[in-house]
A and B are shown apart, each in its own frame.
With several copies, the nearest count.
Chain A
């Protein structure tokens, strides 16, 4: 299985990742997830800073990819996560999975996002016109992770 992991300040190109994933022979199902910076709580979000633990983030993302590989038959997994300052509408994260089976591709992609949300050392600080604050972790992310632990 091909595993590609990147942690970067630069934007990524969803189309290039998809084109790479398409090249995996025998994989007729490709599922992608993209997360974007959105203003959900206020109407004043001016941006977001993504802090991370350099070195550990890459390691954590690779671990998660191989954990998915051990559960499903996968041809390729790509994970890209951006760090640094991001404006509203910017892309934050890409997860793409290629598999011979649609159910495996869907499950693995969601599994990777659920693990990433709970175990990869990234932290978001939101900036509004009035203040800046660290985003609180969500119980719903813990619940999402717990579904896979059986």
Chain B
């Protein structure tokens, strides 16, 4: 079980703040994205952008990072604070 969070424009496109993924673990961010893309066509499109950022347990990671059961994985667009 992996807790998945979405923020900002991505959250709005998916109409979803939080999702619980039940995929085999350990996995990678890339594989998790492929799993999520199967949800529907809108998710497929929104989650295949090259600019998508990812954090595991609130630390920024690359898409090749490992994901284990119990992780909190967040996806979001490039940040625009400050």
Contact = CB atoms under 8 A, between A and B. Distances in A.
- Is there a direct interface between A and B, measured as CB atoms under 8 Å apart in the complex? yes
B55 A122 contact: no
A16 B79 CA distance: 28
A79 to B, nearest CB: 10
Given A51-B7, A123-B7, A116 B81 contact: yes
A119 B79 contact: yes
For A35, A50, A118, the residue with the greatest tally of chain B CB atoms inside 10 Å of its CB is A118
A52 B58 contact: no
Counting chain B residues whose Cβ lies within 8 A of the other chain, the interface size class is: 10 to 19
B82 A137 contact: no
A117 B8 contact: no
Contacts of B7: 51, 53, 121, 123
Contact of A53 (B58, B78, B80, B82): B58
